[in-house]
Amino acid sequence: MEIKILGPGCPKCKTLEKITREVVEQNGIEATIVKVEDIMQIMKYGVMTTPALVVNEKVEIKGRIPSAEEIKNVLTK
């Protein structure tokens, strides 16, 4: 599984990355986590408000910080 955190490096983006890494580690999920900060790459996903969580090239959550439980649900469905 490939997970991308889209965001220019703002506090919300860093929080999303931190929570996502914790969920992956705590649940033994096999995943590669990549931080995408380039605004042109972010725009290719059609994301206008960050942070965003992309799983296997599909935008799952954007424009807010989800709970750890919500991230877990997205990653384990």
pLDDT digits (tens, 9 = 90+) for 39-58: 999 999 999 999 999 999 99
* Options 3, 5, 13, 23, the catalytic residue: 13
The CATH number fitting domain 2-76, selected from 3.30.1490.440, 3.20.190.10, 2.40.30.330, 3.40.30.10:
3.40.30.10
| pTM for the full predicted model | 0.94
Answer yes or no: are the C-beta atoms of 42 and 72 closer than 8 Å: no
Domain spans, the chain? 2-76
Q: Which of 1, 10, 34, 43 is catalytic?
A: 10
63 flagged as catalytic? no
**Maximum Cα–Cα distance for the chain, whole Å?**
32
Find the mean pLDDT for residues 27-44.
Answer: 96
* pLDDT tier at 31, thresholds 50, 70, 90: very high
